[in-house]
Amino acid sequence: MSKSEPKKVSDFLVARLTAWGVEVVYGYSGDGINGILGALGRAGNRPRFIQPPHEELAALMAVGHAKYSGKVGVCLVTQGPGAVHALNGLYDAKLDHQPVVAILGQVSQTASGSYYQQEIDLVSLYKDVAHEHVHVLAAPEQAHHLIDRAFRSALAERTVAAIIVPHDVQDQEAPEQPKAEHGNIVTTVGYVPPRVLPRDSELTRAADVLNAGIKVAVLAGAGALQASDELIEVALRLDAGLAKALLGKAAVPDDLPFVTGSVGFLGTRASNELMKRCDTLLIVGSQFPYTEFLPKPGQARCVQIDIDGKAIGGRYPAEVGLVGDSVETLRALLPRLSQKATSFQEQLRSLIQESRREQEQVALTEAHPLNPARVFWELNKVLPDDLIVAGDCGTATFWYAKYIELRRGMLASLSGTLATMGSALPYALAAKVSFSSRPVLALVGDGAMQMSGLNALITVAQHWRDWSDPRLVIVVLNNQQLSYVTWEQRAMEGDPKFAPSQDLLDFPFARYAELLGLASVRVASPQALEAACQEAFRASRPFLIEAVTDPNVPPLPPELTDKQRTKLKAAFFKGDADAPAVLHQLEQTTGFNMRRA
């Protein structure tokens, strides 16, 4: 655009993104956003446009960006199919409470309502995912306030906001700063989160409950990720054990002697015991859904801290609900807590050791060709400082939650609440965009790779040379099966494996990575694992480890319930082709026996 050419709405939009501090936009091209893409070009690609080969990946990258960097993720997609494709990633943001702004193209206003090519009622479609803010920018004068409000909605409500920009409006003349006249809205950029603290009286009540406890358990979730120091101090003061929900895994390091690790289906036996034994529960920033893994109602007195008042008491009957920021609230609570010496942490120490020994035994159990637990066991030995971990949905999530020992300073996340397959690669890419000097590890199943990871790998190949530290290690569990769901078919439904829905092609992941110019190795023997893990984190380019793992090693919950035993028995009696192999594993690791079950 020459200097004399007037600026367009798109130029204003791009400049406003920069004013909001946006440095990266994840998106995918289409004529519905060509006006905006043109403006990005005129702005010298600032913010930087990053394009994976699918809008869902772009949206998931925006979520990963928000999670790891703490900044708003922005995603830009075209009308119709582009907007539809982005939805799954945006739901991931909504369900995990991440601030993401989606900018969507739309057919020109002049054609709107004519059932035009690619015309979809985007306001209706996005009404749920972007329930706080979804509006059409129909007149240039709206641009200031619609954009500013979208960012504020995303940040203040920690959710998704959407702006729909019709093609012709993108090219209209940019608005002046609106005058403060009737019908005009004047807004500005900027948002500073408030300090949210509970009332003093509630802090005192909470402290009374916590001080009275003999066996205190702390459960940390995603809302506690910034509160490491405070959580540790509170646990030490209360002589408490500390367990973590999946999204809170990075809240405190795993090498502390009172940290029991993950809780729930994917949790450790130590966390399970902690929940069974505690008389007092402090929940910090967690909406961990599986209540059967919490103390029985009535067993423990509960204090819950959450920034969202609606979440209080939502999973466990909380005697005191503290609505507040987790860091600030724990800091306000600390002076009210008295030092306990109940020796509960002492008791937990041996439980934690026992739980680790059991995990080691599972990892070292022979499987064909590789025991997936062994892969994670070996990975633990080589995790570099400063690592960022990206998980997926499948058994890799299970082994990650249970085995990976995070240290101070590491970041880790995955699609927690939506639990969509395919989060690991886009999250890992977003981690690299925000922190290109940090090593990143993506943990993913072969099903998720076949679903969308293979496409995301193309983006790895396209961008890795831009990273100051090229290390991105991708571990693919090639078990030729959607094995987590196979396990659910057996243990939850009492059905045998339904092969047509569960079996996958033995895809050559390592060879595919090599084709893309990445480093890779296919590992099919436990002896080769250690060297492969070491080599991967020493490599000077992204490295894919294709671990050929046994789908018949079951992702066992910390305790098999009677119901699960009955279901498993039923599944195996109905003629599961893999029954002998699974039973063999079960017998070796849990003593589960069909005759005795």
Ligand X SMILES: Cc1ncc(C[n+]2csc(CCOP(=O)(O)OP(=O)(O)O)c2C)c(N)n1
Task: Check if the beta carbon of residue 145 is closer than 8 Å to that of residue 185.
Answer: yes
Of the pair 554, 558, the CB lying nearest ligand X is at 554
Of the pair 103, 421, the CB lying nearest ligand X is at 421
Q: Which does 254 bind (CB under 5 to 8 A by kind): ligand X, Mg ion, none?
A: none
The reply to whether 546 sits near Mg ion by the rule CB under 5 A is no
Q: Which does 393 bind (CB under 5 to 8 A by kind): ligand X, Mg ion, none?
A: ligand X
The stretch among 28-36, 228-236, 298-306, 445-453 that binds Mg ion (CB under 5 A) is: 445-453
| Phi/psi of residue 243, nearest 5 degrees | -110, 160
DSSP letter at 37 equals H
Of the pair 206, 389, the CB lying nearest ligand X is at 389
Near Mg ion by CB under 5 A: residue from 99, 447, 554, 555 = 447
Q: Which does 105 bind (CB under 5 to 8 A by kind): ligand X, Mg ion, none?
A: none
**One character per residue 449-488, x = contact with Mg ion (rule: CB under 5 A):** ------------------------------x-x-x-----
For residue 538, the tally of other CB atoms under 10 A from its CB is 11
Near Mg ion by CB under 5 A: residue from 273, 325, 378, 446 = 446
For helices 228-238 and 326-333, give the axis angle rounded to 10 degrees: 30
Nearest distance from residue 583's CB to ligand X, in Å? Answer: 19
Q: Which does 419 bind (CB under 5 to 8 A by kind): ligand X, Mg ion, none?
A: ligand X
Return the structure tokens found at 99. 């601030």
For 208, counting Cβ atoms within 10 Å of its Cβ (0-12 exposed, 13-18 middle, 19+ buried), the class is middle
Task: Check if the beta carbon of residue 530 is closer than 8 Å to that of residue 543.
Answer: no
User: What radius of gyration do the chain's Cα atoms show?
Assistant: 25
Dist CA 492 CA 292 (whole Å):
15
Q: Which does 389 bind (CB under 5 to 8 A by kind): Mg ion, ligand X, none?
A: none
Nearest distance from residue 501's CB to ligand X, in Å? Answer: 8
Residue nearest to ligand X (CB): 445
Q: Which does 420 bind (CB under 5 to 8 A by kind): Mg ion, ligand X, none?
A: ligand X
- List, in sequence order, every beta strand (DSSP E) within 407-565: 411-413, 440-445, 472-478, 519-523, 543-548
The stretch among 296-304, 325-333, 444-452, 558-566 that binds Mg ion (CB under 5 A) is: 444-452
Of the pair 254, 446, the CB lying nearest ligand X is at 446
Task: List interacting residues with ligand X (CB under 6 A).
Answer: 393-396, 419-421, 445-448, 477, 479, 481-485
DSSP letter at 588 equals H
Of the pair 47, 422, the CB lying nearest ligand X is at 422
| 553: enclosing H helix or E strand | none
Task: Check if the beta carbon of residue 359 is closer than 8 Å to that of residue 403.
Answer: yes
The reply to whether 372 sits near Mg ion by the rule CB under 5 A is no
Of the pair 191, 512, the CB lying nearest Mg ion is at 512
Q: Which does 159 bind (CB under 5 to 8 A by kind): Mg ion, ligand X, none?
A: none
Of the pair 422, 470, the CB lying nearest ligand X is at 422
Dist CA 401 CA 409 (whole Å):
17
Nearest distance from residue 593's CB to ligand X, in Å? Answer: 25
Q: Which residues contact 234 (CB under 8 A, 6 or more apart)?
A: 218, 240, 282, 330, 333, 334, 337
- List, in sequence order, every beta strand (DSSP E) within 263-315: 280-284, 301-306
Give contact residues for Mg ion (rule: CB under 5 A): 445-447, 479, 481, 483
